[in-house]
A and B are shown apart, each in its own frame.
Chain A
Amino acid sequence: MVEILALLADGFGIALQPLNLILIVLGCSVGLFIGAMPGLGSVNGVAILLPLTFVVPPASAIIFLAALYYGAMYGGAISSIMLGIPGASTAVATTFDGRPLALQGLADKALITAATASFVGGTISVILFTLAAPPLAHVALVFGPPETLALMLLAFATFVGLGGEDIWKTIFSICIGLVLAAVGTDIVSGEPRLQLFGLTGFFSSINFLVLAIGIYGIGEMLWTIEQTAKAGGVSMLSRATVSVRRALAHLRGQLALWKATLMGSLLGYFVGILPAAGATPGSMMAYGVAKQMSGNPDSFGKGNPEGVSAPEAANNAASTGSMLPMLTLGIPGSPTTAILLGGMVIWGLEPGPQLFVDEKAFVWGLIASLYAANLFALLLNLTFIPAFIAVLRLPFTILAPVIFVLCLVGGYAPTNRMFDVWLILVFGFVGYLLRKLDYPLAPAVLAIVLGPMTEPALRQSLLMSGGDFAIFFTRPYSGPIMVIAIVLLALPLIRHLVRRYKTG
C-alpha cells in the first residue's frame, strides 16, 4: 500500500510537470470537440493524433492521448444530449434520457449531470485502478468467447423494455439491427456475406455510426422539421436556457443521483477491464441496472437524470478500466486502447506484463495524469456549457442545416467512404418514415452495436465445444453470468405475457 502511494506520488511528479500539464489541457480540449462531433469519437481522435506524438517523450505522449480519450468520452455526451445523435457507441445510452431532458428545456441539467457523473465515474475507477491493477488483469485474460457471449446476453437483457407499445415492431427493430450487423464478411467461414444488391460498399460491415447518424441525425431532424412546420414554425430545439443560479441548483441536485452514479462507476470499471467488452456494453448495462434499481422505472426514457448519470459514469469508468489489460497484459480492452497499444510501439515501449516492472515512470505518470485529466475535463465541460446552450438557441432554420452538415461530414470522416454518406441518407429517410409509424429505433441501434461482438462469440464457443451448448454453463465465469442474463431476459417477457393474459 505504502509502495503504491510512493509510486503514485512519483507519478504525480511526472504528470504535473509543466509540459505534461499543457498536454493534459490540450488533449482534453481537442478531445472534447472531437467527441462532441457526431461521428467522431475517441477512436478516431486517438488514431488521428497518434503519429504526431513522437515529438515528446513516451510518458508525455500517452498522457496527451489519455487526456484526449477522456475529453472525447466527456464530449460524446454533448452531442447525445444536445442533438440526440450519439457521437460514439459509448454514448448511445446517454441519448435515452439526455435527449428528452433537452427537449424539456433542461439541456443544462442533462449536461451538468453528464459532466459530474463522468467525473465521479472516472475518478472512482482511477482509484480502483491505482489500488488493484495486476490481480484483476488475470480475470481479463481467462475471459474467452463463452464469457463474452454471456456478457453480451447480459447487455441485451438489461435492455428489454426499451421498445415501444407494439411488441412486433420492437422485435422487428432488434432483428433488423442484428441482421445489418451481419453484413460484410463472416469471420468464421471467411466468406463474403449479405453483399446487398451486389454493392461493393457492403464488403465491409455497416459501421454502427452510419445507422446511428442516419436515424438520430437525418431521420430525427426530418421529424423535427415536420413537427415545427405543423406547429407553425415553433421549433422544439431552442427552449434551452442556462444561468449561474440554475447551474448551481443542478449541481446540488447531483447528490440525489449518487446511487445510480456509484453503481454506474463500479459496473463500468469491471466491464471495462474485460477485453472485447469495453465502454459500450458497460454503459448500456449501467442504464439497464439503474432502471431496474430505480423506484420509478417508467420515468426512464422520459428524462430521468439517473438515466444520464448511470451510463455516463459507466462509460468513463470503463475507459479507465480498459487501460488496465492494455498496460498489464498488452491486450486492448476497447478499440481505442488497441490504437494506444500501437502507440507504445511507436514510442519504443514493449506493451505486456513487463511494462509495470520496466517502465514505472510511464505507467504511474499515466495513472496520475488520469486524475488530473478528469478534473480538467470536468472544469472545461462546465465552462463550455453556456456556449453549447447558446448554440441551441440559434434559429432552427440555421441550426438544422448546420446539424445536417455535421452528420454528412462526420459520417464520412471515420471511414473515408462516400458509400457511408449515402447509407446515412437512406437510413435517415427510412428511419423517418418508420419513426412516424411508431417503430422504436433505439433497439436497432443497440443491436448493431452488440451484434458484431455477439455472433462471433457464439460461434467461436460452439467451435471450441464441438457444437455443445453446455460450454456456456460449465465454465466458472460464464456459467453464473449466463444464468443471471437468462433470468433477466425472461423476467419482463413473463411479466408481459402475464399482463396480456390478465387483460385478455
Chain B
Amino acid sequence: MSVRLAEIVMACVMAAFSVYLMWKSAELNIGWIEDEGPGGGAWPFWLSAVMLLSCAGIAWNWWRRSTPLARSTEPFIGTAARGIVLQVVVLLTVVVALFDVIGTYCALFLFMLVYLAVIGRHRVRIALAWAVTTPVVTFLFFEIVIKVILPKGVTEPLFYPIFRFFGMGGI
C-alpha cells in the first residue's frame, strides 16, 4: 500500500466513524431547547459534523494532490519494518487477552520472554532474567506498596498465601 492510498483510506474510515458518531449522538436531543440551551446530543453531534467536514477537506487535498502525503508513492510501512511492527502488535494483543485468563503476572512473564528472546534476539539467560524480574517488581510495587489489585485469572488461588504473608487477607 502506498502512502497516497493509505491517506485516502484513512480519511474514508475516519469519515465513516464521524457519521457513526453523529448517528449515535442523535439518540439524544441535538437541537436547541427553549430557555435551556443546547440538548444533550448537540455538542458531540456538531463536533462530529466538523470531523466529517475535515475528512472531506483531507479528501479534497488528496484529489488535488496538494500535500506531500497525497503525492507520495512510497510504501506506507516499509518492508524493513513491517515484520517487526506486526509482531509487536500481535504480541501485545495476545498478552492483553491473556491478562484475564492466566493472570497479569504470567502474561507479563511470557511477554518479556518472547519479546526479548524472539524480537530482541537477546540470549535466553538475559531474557529469562528480565521475564522473571518484571512481574515480581510489578507485583511488589502495585499490589503490596500501592495496593492496586491486577487481574489474576486462574492463577488467583496461588496468591492467597502471599496476601496472607503480607497481612492483606485471611489470618
Contacts and interface: CB of A to CB of B under 8 A. Distances in A.
B142 A409 contact: yes
Contacts of A186: 28, 40-41
Interface string A420-439: 01100100110001101110
Nearest to A231: B80
Interface string A395-425: 1011011101100110011001010011001
A178 interface: yes
B40 A191 contact: yes
Given A179-B47, A401-B115, A193 B122 contact: no
Interface in B51-97: 51, 54-55, 57-58, 61, 67, 69, 76-78, 80-81, 84-85, 88-89, 92-93, 95-96
A44 B24 CA distance: 32
B119 interface: yes
A222 B51 contact: no
Contacts of B122: 395, 397-398
B27 to A, nearest CB: 8
Nearest to A396: B120
B163 interface: no
A421 B97 CA distance: 10
B104 A222 contact: no
B116 A226 contact: no
Contacts of B39: 189
Nearest to B38: A459
A401 B111 contact: yes
Contact of B81 (A188, A225, A397): A225
Contacts of B99: 408, 418, 421
Contact of A226 (B32, B35, B81, B92): B81
Contacts of B61: 166, 168
A187 to B, nearest CB: 9
Given A168-B58, A434-B10, 14 more contacts: A45-B146, A166-B58, A178-B47, A179-B21, A186-B28, A226-B84, A230-B80, A397-B120, A398-B120, A412-B150, A418-B151, A436-B76, A458-B37, A462-B36
B48 A175 contact: yes
Contact of B111 (A179, A404, A462): A404
Interface residues of B, number: 70
A188 B85 contact: no
Interface in A121-169: 165-169
A292 to B, nearest CB: 26
A433 B10 contact: yes
A10 to B, nearest CB: 34
A401 B10 CA distance: 28
Contact of A194 (B21, B112, B134): B21
Interface in A431-449: 433-434, 436-438
> B6, B51, B147: which has the most chain A beta carbons within 10 Å?
B51
The 6 A-B pairs at the shortest CB distance, nearest first, are namely A462-B37, A397-B120, A168-B57, A172-B54, A186-B40, A229-B81
Interface string A170-206: 0110011011001000101101011110000000000
A424 B117 CA distance: 25
B48 A467 contact: no
A34 interface: yes
A404 B92 contact: yes
17 contacts: A166-B61, A167-B57, A169-B58, A178-B47, A225-B85, A226-B77, A397-B120, A405-B112, A408-B92, A412-B104, A412-B150, A413-B148, A413-B150, A437-B7, A458-B37, A459-B38, A467-B33
A121 to B, nearest CB: 26
A225 B84 contact: yes
A141 to B, nearest CB: 24
Contacts of A350: none
A11 to B, nearest CB: 29
B153 to A, nearest CB: 11
B165 interface: no
A93 B3 CA distance: 30
Interface residues of A, number: 66
Contact of B25 (A168, A169, A194, A413): A194
B158 interface: no
A466 interface: yes
Contact of A222 (B27, B88, B119): B88
Contacts of A226: 77-78, 81, 84-85
Given A194-B24, A196-B24, A398 B116 contact: yes
Interface string A98-130: 000000000000000000000000000000000
Nearest to A410: B142
Contacts of A308: none
A19 interface: no
A409 B138 contact: yes
B44 A194 contact: yes
Interface in A360-417: 395, 397-398, 400-402, 404-405, 408-409, 412-413, 416
A195 B20 CA distance: 11
Contacts of B36: 462-463, 466-467
Contacts of B14: 172
B130 A398 contact: yes
A48 B38 contact: no
A324 interface: no
Interface in B95-118: 95-96, 99-100, 104, 108, 111-112, 115-116
A340 to B, nearest CB: 17
B105 to A, nearest CB: 10
B65 to A, nearest CB: 13
Contacts of B55: 168, 172
Contact of A422 (B37, B85, B96, B151): B96
A401 B88 CA distance: 9
A416 B149 contact: yes
Contact of A169 (B54, B100, B120): B54
Contact of B37 (A30, A404, A437, A463): A463
Nearest to B42: A459
